[in-house]
Chains A and B, each alone.
Chain A
Amino acid sequence: VSVDPMPISRQDDAFLRRAILRGGRLVARGRLSEK
């Protein structure tokens, strides 16, 4: 069983998401349906 010695807080994970998106291209923004 591996144990993460340095957990990243949820708040700080935004940088990983930005890193993922850096390598890609936005095609379409999601949109909420009208109620």
Chain B
Amino acid sequence: VISLDEAHAILSRNGHADPGSFYGARVTLSLGAGLFFEGVRCPQFNVADQIFDTFELPVYVLTHECDIDPENRRPFNDALIVCPVISLQSFLDEAHSRFGAAAECGQFLANVARRHVSRLVYLPPSAGALENGGFIYLNALTSTHVSVFERKEPFAALSATGLREVDFALQNHLLRPKAEPLSDFWRKLH
């Protein structure tokens, strides 16, 4: 449908994310501090069988580092939320079945880069991390257990700038006003 180079050109032409400032050093950060990991075991729904399968996927960890700090001995600190990472190459490899024409696929990528598609966040390419860039799909958030991360090293980390981009996208996607009017609880009471 569209080549990797063409996709890069569209995404960088329409995007706000600066690849140079999107990622930061990952060595000293704790689990939950804007890190990406490979091979994280988590569930994915199998539509054909209507049942969950177990996969190992590249993910971004959303849960705050304080909520899963092993030093914090308290209830409810052993589960965390992860978001699967879709590499741009994987997206393009599958895009032919959804987008008939290259222009249509290009338009979609441009809309993602412009932040008009709130459920997808564009991750710019980074040498040594996300070579060709990718996306996180905010409606595919899933939960897994902290033990899955034992002895795992992150393959990328967001910088403060990158984290602001992702947090803004999360806020826009999850907390934007509902399109339909909801009943007024207080009016019902009186």
Contacts and interface: CB of A to CB of B under 8 A. Distances in A.
A23 B153 CA distance: 17
A4 B108 CA distance: 10
Contacts of B55: 21, 24-27
B53 interface: yes
Contact of B118 (A4, A6, A17): A4
Interface in B89-109: 90-91, 93-95, 97-98, 107-108
Q: For chain B, what secondary structure do more than half of its interface residues adopt (helix, strand, loop), or is it mixed?
A: mixed
Interface residues of B, number: 38
A6 B107 contact: yes
B14 interface: no
Contacts of B93: 19, 22
B90 A22 contact: yes
Contacts of A6: 107-108, 111, 117
Interface in B3-55: 39, 41, 44, 46-47, 49, 51-55
B140 A20 contact: yes
A2 B176 contact: yes
A11 to B, nearest CB: 10
Nearest to A1: B176
Given A20-B140, A21-B55, A23-B87, A5 B94 contact: no
Interface string A5-19: 110100010111111
B44 A21 contact: yes
B84 A30 contact: no
18 contacts: A6-B111, A16-B86, A16-B94, A18-B94, A20-B44, A22-B90, A22-B93, A23-B84, A23-B90, A24-B55, A24-B58, A24-B84, A26-B54, A27-B53, A27-B54, A30-B53, A30-B54, A31-B51
Interface of B: 39, 41, 44, 46-47, 49, 51-58, 84-87, 90-91, 93-95, 97-98, 107-108, 111, 115-119, 137, 140, 172, 176-177
Interface of A: 1-6, 8, 12, 14-32
